[in-house]
């Protein structure tokens, strides 16, 4: 199979990531970190702390204690949104947002805890900083920005938006699900208050792990409760970061994979993203030559995410055609209905091709060849 669904989950992982998962299950590390004082528990805990330190360094964060490890980007975003609610306040967000943002906001809105302001992206799918500035009111306490759209690949200027938020005195939450590992992000330089990342996409880890990084002046209330290994005698947990945000047993193998994946991405960052950029350019250049396609990704996009529709054929049928020919792509709304409402693709969504640096040009060529056959009406 040729795998071109990497925006969902990267299929091929570095060998170091696979070794790390195996290491976590080794008898030297396979224990409950932070729950016992024996050597095996301490060994596992040390690797987890190293992961926090590396993520903090990689994303220009505010310290290892300000890195909460989560089950993924969905939990990280929910934790950021639900854990910082200001009753009666306003939240600004955009039409690029994933349901991991849109749904918790809608829940809070229907409970009459907050109001929301939805900002439309521009013609090429980017969020204009001036539109964010105009949307902020004296009741706004939080702005949420999807850094790179998982539908179109459009990437917004979080640095300029961060400057605006800092000047206005509001928090900025960045959804880095698609951009982490592909875009350079520095929380301090970009004035980011909270950054949510996924482990299993551009960071090349396995599923089941993500992180929420946050600034020193941010107070986040826990959204799940249970064992933390500290202050167990208290029925309500004290706010001690990151422990109070990580109730329950840590997904140690997944965290070990995130450490290995981050090391790999940090070492090969330029190589990884130059290859993705080149493959994306080749794919888009060829696709823009074809008729009977509606392409929703701009021709100069570099992020490995390409959305399109074949005129007259349902996206799901196109995906089935490719699957029958041993190529994995995705169709649907990609959990981002606000974006599809704006694009006019809410019925059926789009077909999405998403590229990893482990892909090869010959794989893109085969995809294009099969696409040509489809466009010639040779679908069975």
- Look up the CATH number of the domain holding residue 312: 3.90.1150.10
Tell me whether residue 170 is in a domain.
yes
Tell me whether residue 255 is in a domain.
yes
322 CB-near residues (< 8 Å, 6+ apart): 328, 329, 367, 370
Note whether 117 and 230 are same-domain residues. yes
The pTM (predicted TM-score) of the whole model is 0.96
Tell me whether residue 90 is in a domain.
yes
Tell me whether residue 79 is in a domain.
yes
The last residue of a domain, from among 263, 280, 312: 263
Half-sphere exposure of 318 (CA within 13 A, CB side): 28
Q: Are 5 and 354 a contacting pair, CB within 8 Å?
A: yes
Which of 377, 317, 322, 311 is CA-nearest to residue 353?
A: 322
Note whether 218 and 273 are same-domain residues. no
pLDDT at 33: 87
Task: Give the residue numbers spanning the domain of 243.
Answer: 15-263
Tell me whether residue 182 is in a domain.
yes
Count Cβ neighbours within 10 Å for each residue of 197-226 and write b for 16 or more, e otherwise: bbbbbbbbbbebbbbbbbbeebebebeeee
Note whether 116 and 204 are same-domain residues. yes
Note whether 259 and 275 are same-domain residues. no
pLDDT at 229: 66
Tell me whether residue 281 is in a domain.
yes
- Where the chain has pLDDT below 70, the residues are 229-230, 378-380
Note whether 157 and 285 are same-domain residues. no
d(CA 199, CA 208) in angstroms, rounded, equals 8
- Point out which residues pair with 2 in neighbouring strands: 327
Note whether 298 and 191 are same-domain residues. no
Tell me whether residue 353 is in a domain.
yes
pLDDT at 379: 47
113 CB-near residues (< 8 Å, 6+ apart): 85, 87, 88
Note whether 59 and 184 are same-domain residues. yes
- Look up the CATH number of the domain holding residue 73: 3.40.640.10
* pLDDT digit string, tens, across residues 241-281: 999 999 888 999 999 999 999 999 999 999 999 999 999 99
The last residue of a domain, from among 210, 241, 263: 263
Tell me whether residue 380 is in a domain.
no
Q: Are 304 and 153 a contacting pair, CB within 8 Å?
A: yes
Note whether 331 and 239 are same-domain residues. no
Note whether 291 and 357 are same-domain residues. yes
Number of domains in the chain: 2
Note whether 27 and 65 are same-domain residues. yes
Which of 308, 310, 312 is CA-nearest to residue 351?
A: 308
**Three-state DSSP class for residue 23:** helix
Compute CA distances 154 → 223, 227, 334, whole Å: 31, 40, 14
Note whether 235 and 259 are same-domain residues. yes
Note whether 209 and 235 are same-domain residues. yes
The last residue of a domain, from among 263, 293, 317: 263
* pLDDT digit string, tens, across residues 32-54: 887 778 989 999 999 999 999 99
């Amino acid at each position: 199979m040729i795998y071109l669904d990497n925006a969902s989950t990267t299929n091929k992982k570095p060998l170091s990531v696979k070794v790390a998962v195996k290491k976590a299950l080794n008898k030297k590390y396979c224990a409950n970190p932070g729950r016992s004082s024996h050597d095996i528990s301490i060994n596992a805990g040390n690797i987890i702390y190293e992961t926090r330190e590396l993520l903090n360094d990689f994303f220009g964060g505010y310290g290892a204690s300000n890195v909460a490890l989560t089950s993924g980007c969905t939990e990280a975003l929910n934790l950021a949104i639900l854990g910082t609610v200001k009753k009666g306040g306003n939240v600004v967000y955009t039409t690029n947002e994933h349901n991991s943002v849109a749904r918790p906001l809608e829940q809070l809105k229907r409970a009459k805890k907050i109001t929301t302001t939805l900002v439309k992206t521009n013609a090429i799918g980017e969020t204009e900083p001036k539109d964010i500035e105009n949307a902020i009111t004296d009741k706004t306490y939080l702005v949420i920005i999807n850094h790179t759209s998982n539908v179109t690949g459009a990437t917004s200027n979080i640095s300029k938006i961060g400057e605006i938020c800092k000047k206005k005195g509001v928090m900025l939450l960045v959804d880095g699900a698609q951009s982490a590992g592909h875009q350079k992000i520095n929380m301090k330089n970009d004035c980011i208050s909270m950054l949510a990342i996924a482990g299993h996409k551009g960071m090349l880890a396995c599923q089941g792990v993500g992180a929420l990084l946050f600034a020193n002046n941010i107070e986040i209330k826990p959204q799940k409760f249970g064992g933390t290994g500290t202050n167990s005698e208290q029925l309500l947990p004290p706010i001690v970061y990151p422990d109070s945000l990580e109730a329950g047993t840590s997904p140690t193998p997944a965290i070990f994979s995130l450490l290995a994946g981050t090391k790999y991405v940090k070492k090969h960052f330029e190589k990884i993203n130059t290859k993705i950029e080149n493959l994306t350019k080749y794919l888009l250049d060829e696709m823009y030559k074809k008729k009977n396609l509606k392409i929703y990704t701009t021709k100069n996009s570099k992020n490995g995410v390409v959305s399109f529709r074949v005129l007259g054929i349902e996206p799901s049928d196109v995906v089935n055609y490719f699957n029958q020919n041993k190529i994995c792509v995705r169709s649907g709304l990609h959990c981002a209905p606000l974006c599809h409402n704006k694009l006019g693709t809410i019925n059926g969504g789009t077909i999405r091709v998403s590229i990893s640096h482990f892909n090869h040009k010959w794989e893109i060529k085969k995809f294009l060849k099969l696409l040509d056959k489809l466009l010639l009406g040779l679908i069975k």
